[in-house]
Structure 1
């Protein structure tokens, strides 16, 4: 088990979730797309927004796809 897996399991346990509730790869992929194509601090903010949307009933895979698409189509060079 990796440190990330251990952390995810511990965080899920603390929040009353199960690791199966979390698509870690999708969250990391979205964070990468935002960090590389928009701005680095946008990655954790976007992950939070993703969680809010999913918590309000949105489909996790659809949210991830929409946010990655938005980030990949973002104009500019990703620098502030």
Structure 2
């Protein structure tokens, strides 16, 4: 994951964050669960919501676990195109 590591380091530097606090595997797993179980555009939105929760003091792994469990329990989309809807 060289490019991803480089990006995370650069993004953290830009935002004044410590890269060692970036929970990259946790966020990627959560994004995968949401994209596959709920809706592809829901993945970045959910990652953003996770960031807000963590910024307000939530434990990253615990919050991501709760969201992943919610995504896994989400009812399947109505049709094959539903996973590509942007709204």
TM-score, normalized by length of structure 1? 0.94
Contiguous gaps of at least 5 residues in structure 1: none
Root-mean-square deviation (Å): 1.4
2: CA distance, partners of 1:31 / 1:6: 20
- Which residue does 1:19 correspond to in 2? 19
Larger Rg: 2
Superposition misfits of 4+ residues, deviation over 2 angstroms: none
Shift in Å, 1:18: 1.2
TM-score, normalized by length of structure 2? 0.87
Contiguous gaps of at least 5 residues in structure 2: 83-87
Between the two proteins, the alignment pairs up a number of residues equal to: 80
Shift in Å, 1:32: 0.2
2: CA distance, partners of 1:73 / 1:2: 33
Shift in Å, 1:15: 0.4
